[in-house]
Amino acid sequence: MTFRVDEQTFSPTPWKLHTPHDAEMVVQSVLGGYPARLHTEEGLETALEQILADSGHVFIAIDHILLSKYPFLSIILEKYPHVKLQADEHLKSLHGLEQVWTAFHGAELTRHSLCLAIGGGTILDAVGLACALYKRGLPMVSVPTTLVAQADSCIGGKTAINWGGNKNQLGSITPPQAVHIWPEWLGTLPDDHRRAGLCEILRSALVGGEAELARFDQHHQAALAGDIHALGQLIAMALSVKAALVDADEQDRGPRFALNLGHTLGHALEAASDYEIPHGLAVGLGLFAEARFFEAQGYATEVTADDLAKRLGVIIPKTQWACARNLPPAAMISALADDKKRQGATLTWVRCLKPGYCQTTSILQADTTDWLTRNPMFSIDY
Ligand SMILES: NC(=O)c1ccc[n+]([C@@H]2O[C@H](COP(=O)([O-])OP(=O)(O)OC[C@H]3O[C@@H](n4cnc5c(N)ncnc54)[C@H](O)[C@@H]3O)[C@@H](O)[C@H]2O)c1
Ligand SMILES: [Zn+2]
């Protein structure tokens, strides 16, 4: 099966069996391809110890919350230099980078050392940038532990911190050396974060096509309930779609842009709510709101806002719909004016014409302002 972005056609990157239980794909990069391995077999502890034993001079940067949930980690940390980090947006700052660099320096890391980063997107974004800059490049191996990180952020190499009051303003595209994904970590993930990940996965399914959307429909209820097999199926699907776009456009100057589906209004919702709506859920609300917007502008689409609402209604908590509904249009308009992708009076959006076919579309700010002022997007009650 193939999918299309503007005039280009892509095939989802295939997974190959690595062991009877583990699948692997290679993600292409200017610095050489790197493996992403999906470990579906139980046994996180043994496998992690094996990777560490094979890795030479290793430093571990880890989300501290994981230590209270996985006691074996404390035993591993006794053997390696490490830093325990708090995964909130404060870490994605110059101060957060300094915290990581100070720990690197204390452990006397060189460019031949390796940093194993264990955590969600917040840890991977901040530690990834710290590694990219430290001595002009410390190799990093990523171990994502949230659904957003496993199904999306762990490949593609984007690292970032926030700056000047805006998200992800300073960053790089620096690929990891390898990625190890254990859906098993998701057993302890708070419910809201599972929901956030499912919204990003729905975005990838829409970009990917009918087969991907069918896989989403087949597994999302079980995934919502925490079924590890279902989560693994959805992670594999979402990464196949993302990897195909990263392979073609790692630097994000062309078709990789399709992954911004739901993100134009999603980012605006996130900022306008002062980050009360977490990123993934804002993307889910953004998928719905963008579809409403395009319908209001008279664009034909096979995937209607009502279709999306049926899926998103069970994923996004009512409180978040309410939060979005109550946001003043002026806050959304101002957040959109700050969008990095704005060029003069227009903003480039991604429009999903049908599953597997996205187009970049220039939208006049004035049209968005007019629509948001009338604010019909969350008029449906869930
Ligand atoms: N680089 C990219 O391509 C990319 C893509 C998407 C999002 N992001 C960024 O990722 C960040 C959000 O990351 P996230 O959604 O992964 O959340 P997160 O890393 O902020 O983690 C969410 C919460 O879950 C906790 N947690 C992590 N793993 C856990 C586990 N296994 N069990 C229990 N608790 C766990 C964390 O401590 C935190 O409290 C944002 O800053 C966003 O900008 C980056
Ligand atoms: Zn996103």
Does the Cβ of 158 fall within 6 Å of ligand 1?
Answer: yes
Instruction: Looking at the CA of residue 196, tell me the nearest atom of ligand 1.
Output: 15
Compute, in angstroms, the gap from residue 215 CA to the centroid of ligand 1.
Answer: 24
Does the Cβ of 128 fall within 6 Å of ligand 1?
Answer: no
pLDDT tens by residue, 181-224: 999 999 999 999 999 999 999 999 999 999 999 999 999 999 99
Compute, in angstroms, the gap from residue 280 CA to the centroid of ligand 2.
Answer: 6
- Collect all residues with Cβ–Cβ distance below 8 Å to 378 and sequence separation of at least 6: 285, 289, 321, 324, 325
Pairing of strands 114-119, 58-63: parallel
Confidence of residue 377 (pLDDT cuts 50, 70, 90): low
pLDDT of 110 strictly over 60: yes
Alpha-carbon gap, residue 172 to 128, rounded angstroms: 9
- Comparing CA positions, the residue from 51, 53, 73 lying closest to residue 61 is 73
pLDDT tens by residue, 53-64: 988 899 999 999
Q: How far is CA 61 from CA 75, 119, 141, 179, in A?
A: 15, 8, 10, 14
pTM of the model: 0.96
What is the CB-side half-sphere exposure of residue 59 using CA atoms within 13 A? 26
Query: Which residue is closest in CA terms to ligand 1's atom 2?
Result: 153
- Nearest ligand to the CA of 152 is 1
pLDDT tens by residue, 118-155: 999 999 999 999 999 999 999 999 999 999 999 999 99
Compute, in angstroms, the gap from residue 180 CA to the centroid of ligand 1.
Answer: 16
Instruction: Please give the pLDDT value at position 150.
Output: 98
Does the Cβ of 156 fall within 6 Å of ligand 1?
Answer: yes
Domains of the chain: 3-248 (3.40.50.1970), 261-374 (1.20.1090.10)
pLDDT tens by residue, 261-308: 999 999 999 999 998 999 999 999 999 999 999 999 999 889 999 999
Instruction: Looking at the CA of residue 168, tell me the nearest atom of ligand 1.
Output: 43
- Nearest ligand to the CA of 264 is 2
pLDDT tens by residue, 227-268: 999 999 999 999 999 999 999 999 999 999 999 999 999 999
Compute, in angstroms, the gap from residue 120 CA to the centroid of ligand 1.
Answer: 4
Query: Which residue is closest in CA terms to ligand 1's atom 10?
Result: 121
Does the Cβ of 87 fall within 6 Å of ligand 1?
Answer: yes
Confidence of residue 380 (pLDDT cuts 50, 70, 90): low
Tokens of 79: 């053997």
